[in-house]
Chain A
């Protein structure tokens, strides 16, 4: 198993070295902060993320059950997946084809956003250290490229919000905040990886911003991660089963 070897390499070198450096040279304050954000706060963030997501999903389903039960009678697995499938494939819908640049960026962004943190070796090491679970990882160079893709996409989205009139018109402060929440873990992660300066600070900020994003997902419009498959499935079912028309 290749990754065990690399894991051991890294455990002895890259990951542990700076932490021990912190311990030896930078005093207790930074160390305490690191332990706090990577320990209890990480627990809190993950619990809020999972419980929050579950809560939001259950709440919406209870609401459907209470007030719009008819929705169930129109739902169709076939048409739900037909619709979702079209929309998760780049250029498979009219509107994706109308906006080729946006389509490439948004797909690259979402794929990298989800894949990068899960298959980053240093994250896997942390899982391994705490829970003795590990899995396949991506080469660091690829992860770096993917991180840059996420950051670049965020800049693209920001510029789009600023200059495209139809987006600008429906942009609120919260849209910029959400964008910042998503960009922050990647920017700080990139900074801490290269250890150019303020490594400890960036590592702590990286963990902290990751936790903020996790907590924000269920309670901001980042919850489109949870709800968009549901809204898409419903519209797909209506178009397939009742309207007999394409919805892509």
Chain B
């Protein structure tokens, strides 16, 4: 085999969070923290995963980073375990501060925790879990990427991801209510309505940058005649970057606040916007930290919610979206929640034609933004975009078969794919399902 023609010269990424955190490390502290996590916090799963792996490399081709980096083994899932956890275990925690810095970089910015590799390992070894163990160690050592740490701080201080102040939140909702009343004069965004059927929750960036999504959701709720509410208190944000920095304690506080807000409003269900990581946090990870096998109050992702509305005929389609679309299955709701078939039902109900990309459904490649990677911010942008050349190729193939619009029912996918779209010159328009549903649905005249 020939050497790959272009050997990309790796630019040194400087991340202040990692630099400053590393400076403060001492050998003792590293050793203590690693052993505390390996021996204290983790248990049978980690032991079985490490002892069972026969180093066969079969997980490699599951990883979009590996495929996009010309099959460079350093980017394979097991390759990342080798560079981090195996070494920590072998040296019994006696690793250098620079090793910890590199481990943070690998676990936080070179793995999206997408769990695609778990489907490719003959033994079902969960490498995403192992990368989370590394992130946990990094969190306890204070060596985390600056940007995502800032959002984790925001969670800790304000219970939302974007430092949205309590009055700004209410103000934003009322602003969107007024905007939407221009279209439907009787529309309300009911705040603090106790005993409503549904509490609608969103991620911090929606009120911060994408308030029109709240507008659209309000129109959908109103037209479908849903008895819904939004909280006027902290607990409204379902997002969770603490889950991705390894700050499990903050993650637990966030999820408790979220569920308790829903309980206070005595709602039957929580419906959440089109977000993948928040679904993972509420449905899979955060609830478990709090001791709930499944969410204590049922959580319905937007995809499933739209599916129910369309299936029950509560929303009717006036005019289907004409341009051919392709659908990016977000890892956290597809591989993480099995919503891919419902997503197809919805897309087919609102669009004229769906061009499948391949692989798809639970086999889809990650967008390379998830798992907190995009939240590690500008220093890692090019690594993230170049680390997903395979996604660009996948999308070009769908485009060649006619797809003009790319539907991504997840905030992280949305932003990550936008960068890929731009960098590779894909020229696709990217939309949420809600964007199209809002356009296509019957609304009161």
Chain A residues in contact with chain B, CB under 8 A? 60-61, 63-64, 66-68, 70-71, 73-74, 83, 87, 93-95, 98-99, 102, 164-172, 175, 178, 221, 223-224, 227-228, 230-232, 234-236, 239, 242-248
Contact = CB atoms under 8 A, between A and B. Distances in A.
Interface size class for chain B?
A: 35 or more
Contacts of B60: 166
A232 B55 contact: no
Contacts of B45: 68, 71, 234
Interface in B105-138: 118-120, 122-126
B162 to A, nearest CB: 29
A155 B342 CA distance: 47
B52 A224 contact: yes
A228 B339 CA distance: 28
Given A171-B55, A244-B337, A68 B43 contact: yes
Interface stretch (B13-21, B69-77, B426-434): B69-77
Contacts of B72: 165
Interface in B393-438: none
5 contacts: A60-B47, A228-B123, A230-B48, A232-B124, A242-B284
A227 B51 contact: yes
Given A71-B45, A243-B335, A244-B337, A170 B123 contact: no
B335 A167 contact: no
A231 B49 contact: yes
A164 B57 contact: yes
Given A63-B44, A243-B337, A221 B76 contact: no
Given A167-B55, A244-B338, A235 B48 contact: no
Contacts of B44: 60-61, 63-64, 67-68, 71
B73 A221 contact: no
B374 interface: no
Contact of B57 (A60, A61, A170): A170
A79 B65 CA distance: 30
B58 interface: yes
B43 A63 contact: yes
A187 to B, nearest CB: 20
Given A227-B48, A227-B52, A67 B43 contact: yes
A195 to B, nearest CB: 34
Nearest to B291: A70
Nearest to B120: A95
A219 B284 CA distance: 34
Which of A61, A170, A248 has the most chain B CB within a 10 Å cutoff?
A170
Contact of B124 (A94, A166, A231): A231
A166 B73 contact: yes
A234 B123 CA distance: 10
B190 interface: no
A246 B124 contact: no
A61 B25 CA distance: 36
B293 A74 contact: yes
Contacts of B52: 221, 223-224, 227-228, 231
B206 to A, nearest CB: 25
Contacts of A94: 119-120, 363
Contact of B336 (A64, A171, A243): A243
B334 interface: yes
B4 to A, nearest CB: 11
Nearest to B66: A166
Given A87-B122, A224-B54, A243-B284, 12 more contacts: A60-B47, A63-B47, A68-B43, A68-B45, A87-B124, A169-B82, A170-B57, A221-B55, A232-B124, A236-B124, A245-B334, A246-B362
B58 A247 contact: no
Contacts of B78: 166, 170
Contacts of B118: 235, 239, 247
Contact of A223 (B42, B51, B61): B51
B2 interface: no
B8 interface: no
Contacts of B234: none
A227 B122 CA distance: 12
Given A169-B82, A170-B82, A231-B124, A221 B48 contact: no
Given A223-B52, A228-B122, A245 B73 contact: no
Contacts of B42: 67
A94 B49 CA distance: 21
Contact of A169 (B73, B335, B363): B73
B377 interface: no
Contacts of A175: 54-55
A228 B82 CA distance: 20
Contact of A232 (B123, B288, B362): B123
Contacts of B294: 242
Closest 10 pairs (CB-CB, A-B): A244-B338, A235-B124, A67-B43, A169-B73, A245-B362, A63-B44, A166-B57, A167-B57, A166-B60, A64-B44
